[in-house]
Amino acid sequence: MKDFIPNKQALELKELGFDEAISTYYSYPDNELGYTMDAHNRVSVRRNSQFGYAVSAPTFSQAFRWFREKYGLRASITDFIDDKIGIEWDYEIAVIGTDLDENGNYKPLVDYSTDDENRKFKTYEEAELACLKKLIEICKNK
């Protein structure tokens, strides 16, 4: 499903310490998306610390919120128009509260350049996943 981050990134978030209360998870070993259920067969929430090998499956929104709260990183997906191709997508990542340079200009943590062919995405979802991967990379290297 498009709303949930992929299993690989969910596992990387778990390794970074993601332990929020989430109602969805990826099962082990088949990596199927499921919902946590209580004793009365109602959807409930669990944390990564309550799973053995299973992994919480947050939505993109939940993951981006976690990066804002835990690491102070703000991410945004932006669109732009290429005269030859049409609408394309990119992302920006900035440290909350420190995204202005000495002249008061916006200064993203990750360089934003519409000329970088590797940073042009055909869909919002492609840009969103690339942004999540970059956030994970940044935090792994802290």
pTM of the model: 0.85
What backbone phi and psi angles, to 5 degrees, belong to 78?
A: -125, 150
Task: Measure the CA–CA gap between 89 and 120, rounded to whole angstroms.
Answer: 6
* CA 92 centroid distance within chain: 12
DSSP class of residue 11 equals H
Other beta carbons within 10 Å of 106: 10
β-bridge partners, 100: 106
Task: Measure the CA–CA gap between 90 and 139, rounded to whole angstroms.
Answer: 20
pLDDT at 97 over 80: no
Ordered strands of the 33-35 beta sheet:
33-35, 24-26, 55-56
Cis bond upstream, residue 58 (ω within 30): no
**Range 106-114 contact pairs with CB under 8 angstroms and sequence separation of 24 or more:** 109/73, 109/138, 110/134, 110/138, 112/78, 114/80, 114/82, 114/88, 114/90
pLDDT at 31: 92
Q: Write out pLDDT tens, residues 130-142.
A: 999 999 999 998 7
Query: pLDDT over 70 for what percent of the chain?
Result: 86
Q: Write out pLDDT tens, residues 34-81.
A: 999 888 888 888 998 898 889 999 999 999 999 999 999 989 998 988
What string of DSSP letters covers 60-88? HHHHHHHHHHHH-EEEEEEEEEETTTEEE
